[in-house]
Structure 1
Amino acid sequence: MQHETANQHAGARPPVLEVRDLRKKFGGLRALDGCSLSVEEGTITGLIGPNGAGKTTLFNAITGFFRPDSGRVLTDGHDITSLPPHRVFRRGICRTFQIPREHGTMTVLENLMLVAPDQAGERFWNCWFRPGLVRRQEREIRDRAMEVLEFVDLARLSDEYAGRLSGGQKKLLELARTLMARPRLVLLDEPAAGVNRTLMKKLAENIEYLRRERGITFLLIEHDMDLVMHLCDPVIVMSEGRHLMQGHPEDVRSDPRVLEAYLGGQYGARDGGGNGGRHGAA
């Protein structure tokens, strides 16, 4: 599926996300080694690469969970490199995790209501002196949460404990939680992992709808090449902590550098050569 970027004709507007020469070491391991890339507004950009390429470390550096050793992260031209996660979140950048991090002892609905920003009830004096405001806002948040659950087809499970959901349902819940924050950019870490084909199709449809109708930009890490080829344009390839190439899905799939990154010496050394069949479609 080929997408026309929303800012294709917008002149010199800066990218919604730009990473410049990002470096991060853990002991002797260079997880990011001068990584530079950009994500244009209104795209669904795929981020692929063999295990150990630095993809999740990059997500952690962008969202403030890791502080890079050097380099810069910018959104709309503004430097956010040193911001903690909660301030990156307030900039409209949200992420999901490869392993969902739901609050298992809270209901599905409560998981969503918790995310809504700037809640008056978070300030205890409002509960005493402005209870009407708190109640009114809570009703509004609840109504919005139910709308989001309807969108991801989880409304029937609104009163179920989140910890009891299936793996695929938890991935949909992760997406729903990001939507409660009204994001501009969503970083998805392997949204298809552990998801059956029916739920994966629903997830892909939701992502495409949100890009097209709500103008949300997506950057997603994914190993399922069928999903990448169907959903993403452009596709960025990482290898050994660096940006290897970027292009349309078909061009990336047939590029010799990509085949070498997945099937060559680096992949065999890091993964013991045992997982090549999983990634060989790239």
Structure 2
Amino acid sequence: MLSVQDLVKNFGGLRAIDHCTFDVQRGTITGLIGPNGAGKTTLFNIITGFISPDAGRVRFKGDDITNLPAHRIFDKKLCRTFQIPREHPSMTVIENLMLVASEQSGERIWNAWLRPGHVRRQEDETRKRAIEVLDFIELDHLRDEYAGKLSGGQKKLLELGRTLMAEPEMVLLDEPGAGVNRTLMKRLVGNIEYLCRERGIIFLLIEHDMDLVMRLCDPVIVMSEGRKLMQGTPDEVRSDKRVLDAYLGGQYAAAEG
């Protein structure tokens, strides 16, 4: 589904991505782990068109998307979330969702004058879909609340809801568990598992919560100093001495011993 091929990215004298290569298969929830500074978010920014690589290629569904602008990649149904949610705080929760829907005829001012009935029907359909998404992520009771007033965990759920409005085929999640309490985290994990299993959405997620990664993701990709250190099942990652020493700090060493 997604193929990262020999990517390189330098920032001045710092090599953030160093000949990184891996594939993400259909039907998977793939974890991407590594210490701070390993290049994980930079990699996401390259894949989704926010920055360009110095070398290498990115392919999505077989198409070369390297250097395409972010909105073109979004239109190809490859979407992402961010470490810090980027909601529109002065808009309501439901307005944040409705804004994402593509090809809205009301965005062209002449349609509002010449085809008001069509614009109204399309907006009604978009609102209906937004309500369905809000019901799925269990934020329907907050539909008319300003998004800026949501808790950190609720904003993470809203971010997921906004990607669903784009009807994605693949979603890149940047630390979905950061700042989220256990109750909301359980809901978010359940949503991800359901969307992968029932709707066929592929997920690639960055996460520092190793318990979450080991429970949710298979396979897991480990990055170090801008390159792939290894890729394997959660059990393989748990038992790899390089991973235990460098990233997990012996967290699973006792269990393995």
Common fold by TM > 0.5: yes
Q: Summarize deviations over 1:13-51 as a string: whole Å, max 9, x none.
A: xxx100000000111111100010110011000000111
Q: Deviations over 1:107-146 (max 9, x none)?
A: 0000000000111111111111111110000000000000
Deviation at 1:281, TM superposition (A): 5.4
Question: Amino acid of the residue matched to residue 88 of structure 1?
Answer: I
Alignment counterpart, residue 136 of structure 2, candidates 148, 151, 168? 151
Partner of 2:149: 164
Partner in structure 2 of residue 260 of structure 1: 245
Deviation at 1:167, TM superposition (A): 0.3
The equivalences for 1:111-260 within 5 A come to: 111-260=96-245
1:76 deviates by 1.2
Q: What SS class does the counterpart of residue 3 from structure 2 fall into?
A: strand
| 2:208 counterpart letter in structure 1 | H
* Letter aligned with residue 194 of structure 1: G
State how far apart, in whole Å, the 2-side matches of 1:121 and 1:80 are: 29
Contact 1:225 1:281 in 2 (8 A): no
The whole-number CA distance in structure 2 between the counterparts of 1:180 and 1:154 is 14
Measured against aligned partners, the alpha-carbon deviations of 1:235-280 in whole angstroms (never above 9, x if no partner) come to 00000000111110011022012123327xxxxxxxxxxxx69xx5
Deviation per residue, 1:70-103 (Å, 9 max, x gap): 1000011110001000000001000000000000
Using the alignment, how far apart are the partners of 2:252 and 2:113 within structure 1? Answer: 60
Partner residue in 2 for 1:28: 13
Alignment of 1:98-117 (within 5 A): 98-117=83-102
Tell me what 1:50 maps to: 35
Q: Within 5 Å, which residues of 2 pair with 1:67-82?
A: 67-82=52-67
CA distance, structure 2, for counterparts of residue 70 and residue 207 of structure 1:
32
Question: Whole-Å Cα distance in 1 between the matches of residues 233 and 247 of structure 2?
Answer: 18
Identity, in percent, stands at: 74
Runs of at least 5 residues in structure 2 that lack an aligned partner in the other structure: none
Cα pair 1:185 1:216 within 8 Å, conserved: yes
Name the CA distance, whole Å, in 2 between partners of 1:57 and 1:229.
23
- Partners of 1:19 and 1:225 lie apart in 2 by 24
Q: Give the unaligned 5+ runs of structure 1.
A: 1-15, 264-275
Provide, for residues 176-223 of structure 1, a one-character-per-residue CA deviation record: whole Å limited to 9, x for no partner: 000000000000000000000000000000000000110000000001
For residues 202 and 107 of structure 2, what CA distance do their matches in structure 1 show? 29
* TM-score calculated relative to the size of structure 2: 0.96
TM-score normalised to structure 1 length: 0.88
Q: Distance in 2 between matches of 1:18 and 1:195?
A: 30
Contact 1:108 1:161 (C-alpha < 8 Å) held by counterparts = yes
CA contact (8 A) 1:62 1:81 kept: yes
Q: Kindly indicate whether the alpha-carbon contact (under 8 Å) linking 1:24 and 1:32 is maintained by their aligned counterparts in 2.
A: yes
Distance 1:135 1:19 in 2: 42
